[in-house]
Amino acid sequence: MKQYNVAVVGASGAVGEEILRILEEIDFPLKTLVPLASSRSAGNTVAFNGEDITIKELTETVFAEEHIEIALFSAGGSVSAKFAPCAAEAGAVVIDNTSHFRMDETIPLVVPEVNPEDIAKWRQRGIIANPNCSTIQMVQALKPLDTAYDLIRVDVSTYQATSGAGKTAMEELVTQMQDFFAFKLDTSKHNSFPHQIALNVIPQIDLFTDNGYTKEEMKMVNETCKILHKEVEVSATCVRVPTLRGHAESLTLTFDAAVSADEARELLRHAPNIIVVDDPKESLYPMPAACVDQNETFVGRLRNDVYRDNVLHLWVVADNLRVGAATNAVRIAQKWIEMENETQ
């Protein structure tokens, strides 16, 4: 089987580190791994399969020099805007974790359990976009239910962990908690979030747009329609909570047809990479602390609406660094390899 030269751009970051861990864990056809970051981390090493591999500086020419065939980008939108086209021009398929290319019509936006067929459009620009972390876990749960009952509307509130904003944001929560226990928490000191995050809940993720929703909320609106290939109404309220890892979402779904919670639970039990945890009498339901390091999306609290037979409520939790970023990117790469091998 062919093996590939793979670059991980942003290898020293929260998502990049997780990509390396997943590539170690699975049977990925890897020839050479090239970790890339800015000049700040270049020269440092990452541990991979028992070896210390030196991080190289990201440059416009590194992809051609290293004969990169697959480039996994998670170093921020402006970095992808500048360097992803260089990687594609050098012949690599780019799988981009940032929001930069997601809504570009010429670039596929893919969750392999939902719209794997869209990967075939990669040739247009050489780039495949990875959706927002909150969107990925949500559409994985929506897809089987949409197929069965025809989804019309989604009302979602998220409970998003600090790691969604990167490594320094996680550190900010930990530092603030330490300061709190040392009786020296200064509530005016915050960099990663618009307010103190320790012992707080912030109903703002990213900047507000003119319509009163944040950019994060509008990502959930626009990306869901692009991935599901239909105009679903989506209303999102995205909230940052003081956890380190794992995003939770409360969903209210409106369908064209009547829906039974028992039947929906069975459909989700058979959906790819979904695990149903739903035994309220035993206090069993998905929680962020139980999803860390997992590659599946956890679903529970399924119940019919009290008033309407076409409305269903549920609770969805996944590790944002894995399912919401690294796992999805690696699954896209695996699917891309499978499709490339089929066409040869």
Ligand X SMILES: NC(=O)c1ccc[n+]([C@@H]2O[C@H](COP(=O)([O-])OP(=O)(O)OC[C@H]3O[C@@H](n4cnc5c(N)ncnc54)[C@H](OP(=O)(O)O)[C@@H]3O)[C@@H](O)[C@H]2O)c1
Nearer to ligand X among residue 254 and residue 328 (C-beta): 328
Q: Which residue number places its CB atom closest to ligand X? A: 13
As measured in angstroms, the least distance from the Cβ of 29 to ligand X is 24
- Closest CB 134 distance from ligand X, rounded Å: 9
CA 334 to chain centre: 16
Q: Contact, 184 vs 163, CB < 8 A?
A: no
Give, in degrees to the nearest 5, the angle at Cα 221 between 212 and 158: 80
Q: What share of the chain is helix, strand, coil (3-state, %, to 5)?
A: 35, 25, 40
The reply to whether 133 belongs to the active site is yes
Catalytic entry in 86, 238, 247, 291: 247
In the structure, how many helices (H) and strands (E) does the chain have? 9, 14
Radius of gyration of the chain (CA): 20
Q: Which one is catalytic: 86, 100, 133, 291?
A: 133
61 vs 188, which CB is nearer to ligand X?
61
67 is catalytic: no
| Footprint of ligand X (CB under 6 A) | 10-16, 37-38, 40-41, 58, 74-77, 79, 97-98, 133, 163-164, 166-167, 320-321, 324-325
Q: Which is nearer to ligand X, 217 or 278 (CB)?
A: 217
Cβ atoms of 15 and 97 closer than 8 Å = yes
Residue 115 CB neighbours (<10 A):
17
Minimum CB distance to ligand X smaller for 13 or for 144 = 13
Q: Which residues are catalytic?
A: 133, 247
